[in-house]
Amino acid sequence: MPSHSLTGRRAFMVSAATASLPLFFSHNAQAATELKLGFPLPQNSQFGAAATAFAQTLSQRTEGRFTVKLFPSSALGGEREMIEGIQLGSQDLALVSTGAIGNFVPQVTLFDLPFLFRDYAHAHAVLDGAIGSEMLQRFPARGLVALAWGEGGFRHITNNKHAIHGPKDLRGLKIRTQENPMHIAAFKGLGASPTPINWPETFMALQQRTVDGQDNPISVIEASKLYEVQKYLSLTQHLYSPALFLVSPALFGKLSKADQEAFRAAAKAGAAAMRQRVAADELSGVRNLRQHGMEVVERIDKAPFVAALEASYKTFNQQFGAQTIERIRQTP
């Protein structure tokens, strides 16, 4: 028979080991931190593609220590509400357009100037270069951390009244816009009646004819099934719509340098997936929208639109600086 001292020692060891089990499993259960990422569009959009790529890359780069739960279709609120949540630290991550960001970082509306970018390659060169980097550095002063530029795409106009070939066709039309001073100014300059409406309420506003039309990239028009409530599509390509991955400073400030870099890498992977999806949708989207019954005006002469905005550009030059605008235009 074992001695009492040996029995007691074994009992102590078993007891100590057993007592440590809850702590061990508790530590491992807490090792994976789940974050919430909200975005305004459905999962089957370029925003959904970007969010998925972000989540997968972040998990890989951090060996599963961070997982991301996706909340599409404004499940966490409209863009303004999500941005405010990021500032307050009540929301971890958001992928949003620049439509509402201008209310928080006014300088970012520079990229929303009408007919500023020649094409997608030009927009990417500006945002991925020094100008885009300089803009990202403005966000911390506003209580936000911007990780990378994503892409909504070039915006086109839809409406229920008639086909739009030139600025004269926009006169008097009520066009839903984002809460973006630049978008509002652009449509006023083109003779339309811009009406800011939060995105979650836009479909119903179009359905009930509160407004006549709206503007969005092809991928958004298709993913949101706007063909159900809009008849005419004109490929005006009048505005380029960037997007941004935002993270709460409260969260980001607690991360190690390595993890901060992992978040940035995940955002860049998300941005790349977003651009790929936009490019794919541009190729197939117009055909699909036609099949859903939309009448499409493909050949648009942009010169009359640009001329109609000449007076507006004088104001834009004063607001942002003619040199800055020219710097963007001269980017190869």
pLDDT at residue number 62: 97
Residues 252-261: tens digit of each pLDDT: 999 999 999 9
pLDDT at residue number 183: 86
More confident residue, 8 or 324: 324
Q: Among 22-36, 87-101, 115-129, 145-159, which is the least confidently predicted range?
A: 22-36
Q: Is pLDDT above 80 for 167?
A: yes
The DSSP output letter for 40 is S
pLDDT at residue number 100: 85
Contact between 83 and 162 under an 8 Å Cβ cutoff? The reply is no
* Closest of 232, 249, 67, 72 to residue 163, by C-alpha: 232
Using DSSP's 3-state secondary structure scheme, residue 118 falls into coil
Determine how β-strand 193-196 pairs with β-strand 174-177. Answer: parallel
CA 259 vs. chain centroid, Å, equals 22
CB atoms inside a 10 Å sphere around CB 191:
14
Across the range 241-263, mean pLDDT stands at 97
First to last CA, the chain: 88
What domains sit in the chain, N to C, each tagged with a CATH number? 29-329 (3.40.190.170)
Q: In the chain, how many H helices and how many E strands?
A: 14, 9
Instruction: Tell me how far apart the alpha carbons of residues 115 and 304 are, in angstroms, rounded to a whole number.
Output: 12
> Which of 138-152, 181-195, 301-315 reaches the highest mean pLDDT?
138-152
Q: Is pLDDT above 80 for 83?
A: yes
Using DSSP's 3-state secondary structure scheme, residue 261 falls into helix
Amino acid letter at 7? T
Residues 300-310: tens digit of each pLDDT: 999 999 999 99
pLDDT at residue number 114: 93
pLDDT at residue number 225: 95
Token duo for residue 138: 């403005």
Angle in degrees, CA 47, 249, 139, rounded to 5? 70
Instruction: Tell me how far apart the alpha carbons of residues 173 and 159 are, in angstroms, rounded to a whole number.
Output: 8
Q: Is pLDDT above 60 for 2?
A: no
Residues 274-287: tens digit of each pLDDT: 999 999 988 899 99
pLDDT at residue number 16: 42
Long-range pairs for 79-82: beta carbons < 8 A, 24 or more residues apart: 79/40, 79/178, 79/198, 79/199, 80/179, 80/198, 82/38
Q: Is pLDDT above 60 for 22?
A: no
Q: Is pLDDT above 70 for 20?
A: no
